[in-house]
Amino acid sequence: MKKISYALLGLSLGLTGLTHAAGYGVVDIEKVVESSTYLKQQNASLEQSIKPQTTKLEQITKEIEALKQKAQAQGANVQQINAQYQAKVNEFQTIQQGVQTKVQSTIQSTNTAFETRVKQAAEQLRQENSLDLVLNKNSAIAFDSKYDLTAKMIQKVNAIK
């Protein structure tokens, strides 16, 4: 009888260990992205850095339109106008490709840096709140709103320098 009691006690203690509820938190990543001062600063910086090229592209577009109109209005010098037109189109394409390359590389490096910030902030939250894990809110089917750490995550991500 004692052996059975000890076995049941051991089994119940073992099951208690198996049913340990993990501490968790959830974060709305979309809100973190929308509220990120880092991303806003990076976007503003990118826009500022490509502004001269975009202004130049707008100017070339106007020049191309003027050449088209000039070619339609004049029958003479068509070859000269076509040469100017082709030169402007080539210049436009070269600048446009440069802008696209710069934008893509900047976005990629910004995303990598932001991902690092989010992971660092999530780890800080996990440790500070003694959690086993932090989930993306959109990955959870249901959760208690008391586990929502989005506001704290936004503060932490924005505080990282």
pLDDT score recorded for residue 117? 94
Around Cβ 153, how many Cβ atoms within 10 Å?
24
pLDDT score recorded for residue 21? 46
- Tell me which amino acid residue 159 is: A
Q: Is 154 within 8 Å of 31 (Cβ atoms)? A: yes
Q: Among 84, 117, 98, 118, which Cα is nearest to 49's?
A: 98
Stretches in the chain below the pLDDT threshold 70 = 1-22, 74-76
Model-wide pTM > 0.85 = no
pLDDT tens string 101-144 = 999 999 999 999 999 999 999 999 999 999 999 999 998 889 88
Helices (H), 74-148: 78-128
pLDDT score recorded for residue 19? 38
